[in-house]
Amino acid sequence: MRNKWIVGLTLALSAGLAAAAAPKKAVLDVQNMTCAACSITISKALDKVPGVQSNHVDAEAATVTVVFDPSRTSISAVSRAITDAGFPAKARSDGG
């Protein structure tokens, strides 16, 4: 009986970890980016958002691509962090 309980617990934990490990990717359109310093400012702002795993700032295209853990943060929190850094940001509705 104890072995069944351990196996069940192991399976439940594995399923929980698999769900938590599924990162999301979003592309945001960003205004007011004019130089390399803007990219650095945005990246530093995103480094402070828990759950953001990576980001790529493309000043020429005026976009930021973010990979994040949806169990720890949301696209609205990511957008708010960029906007609060001085660069109004809005997620693309198609996600990419």
pLDDT of residue 3: 62
Asked if the model's pLDDT at residue 14 lies above 80, the reply is no
- The arrangement of strands across the sheet holding 63-68 comes to 52-58, 63-68, 24-30, 89-91
pLDDT of residue 77: 97
Q: Which amino acid is at 55?
A: N
Model's pTM, two decimal places?
A: 0.76
In the chain, where the domains are located: 22-91
Residue range 17-48, pLDDT digits in tens: 555 559 999 999 999 999 889 999 999 999 99
User: What number of helices (H) and strands (E) belong to the chain?
Assistant: 3, 4
22-91 CATH fold = Alpha-Beta Plaits (3.30.70)
